[in-house]
Amino acid sequence: MRSAPFEYHRAESLDQAVDLLATLGEDARPLAGGYSLVPMMNLRLARPEHLVDINPLGLDHIVRDGAVVRLGGLVRHSRYAVDTTLRKTFPLFAEASSHIAHPVIRRRGTLGGSLAHADPTAELALLAVLYDGVIHVSSARGRRSIPAGEFFKSAFTTALQAGELVAELEVPVPATGSGHAFFEFSERKGDFAIIAVAALIRAAKGRIAEARIACAGALSAPIRDANVEVALVGQSLETPGALEAGHMFAAAHDPMSDIRATSHYRRHLIAELVRRAVEKACAGAGGAA
């Protein structure tokens, strides 16, 4: 199928882009990589009358700014694996990037597009939640900042308001002595994740000082479990109770069922991948301490 007719607009600046979105109203959508929007248009699931091309805006920066790293909304997925700033401070972006669809999509798909699309299996949404990221959005009304944990409302639904676009993701740099892990299970490499889990463990004196565990693919948005994270604090890095943490995380949630996996199967995957992620992150934290 082909998309319904639309009018194309090319924005040369952020101010022009947000003004166009405000003027054109609900019938306009921003266009960057287009790998989520265009297929939806071809299937007539989305019928915008206007597309505002935001590729010329130059929002493709990755910069260290004190205790945070700022990633522009137009950063392409292929950058995560090669950018020296990310590889040094957030190696999970490089690890997760190989699971994002396929090479052609990674070359053109954008950070902002992925976050705004809010696929419940998306790797970048998972990492934004894991790292306590802040998503900065712009519109003709100005700029506002939304914690990642509040940005993703449900499947394909975010806190974005009419006329807003994702300008930047701000991610706090993890403390020294931190270990990390990322695991994803899908039918084939590059397919949508059935379950993906990421972990960040900060160590002190051979024990877990802080734990973060995030999961995608279980519910309609990425999730963390504060009870599991608190239970891990104080555990020895050598025997952190990873098996118990996995079962605790899985038991606390009721994963969805669909054509790819049942709720029961997803719960089993959560328990196993959380176990693996905790063990690997603890091993990394021990080596970094």
Tell whether the model's pLDDT for residue 244 goes beyond 80: yes
Q: Which of 116, 139, 172 is the last residue of a domain?
A: 172
Residue 210 structure tokens: 């802080």
- pLDDT tens per residue, range 63-77: 999 999 999 999 999
> What's the average model confidence in pLDDT over 191-210?
96
214 found inside a domain: yes
Q: Does residue 200 sit within a domain?
A: yes
| In-domain check, residue 2 | no
pLDDT value of residue 193: 96
Query: Rounded to two decimals, what is the model's pTM?
Result: 0.95
| Residue 177 pLDDT class (50, 70, 90 cuts) | confident
Give the tokens for residue 69: 């790293």
For the chain, the domain total comes to 3
Tens-digit pLDDT profile for residues 36-73: 999 999 999 999 999 999 999 999 999 999 999 999 99
Paired tokens of 106: 């990674």
Which residue range(s) make up the domain with 186? 178-288
Contact yes or no for 96/198 (Cβ under 8 A):
yes
How many C-beta atoms lie closer than 10 Å to residue 254's C-beta? 11
Q: What is the pLDDT of residues 99-109, one digit of tens each?
A: 999 899 999 99
d(CA 142, CA 78): 30
Are the CB atoms for 66 and 89 separated by under 8 Å?
no
Mean pLDDT taken over the chain: 95
Residue 229 lies in a domain: yes
Is residue 1 in some structural domain? no
Same structural domain for residues 168 and 184? no
Confidence of residue 14 (pLDDT cuts 50, 70, 90): very high
Do residues 84 and 164 share a domain?
A: yes
- Report which of 160, 187, 176 is spatially closest to residue 261, judged by C-alpha positions: 187
Q: What is the DSSP string of 153-213?
A: EETTEESPPTT-EEEEEEEEPPPSSEEEEEEEE-SSTTSPPSEEEEEEEEEETTEEEEEEE
pLDDT attached to residue 289: 56
Q: Compute the average pLDDT of residues 5-9.
A: 96
Q: What span, in angstroms and rounded, lies between the C-alpha atoms of 270 and 247?
A: 8
Give the C-alpha separation, 100 to 180, whole Å. 19
Domain check: are 184 and 165 in the same one? no
Q: What is the pLDDT of residue 189?
A: 84
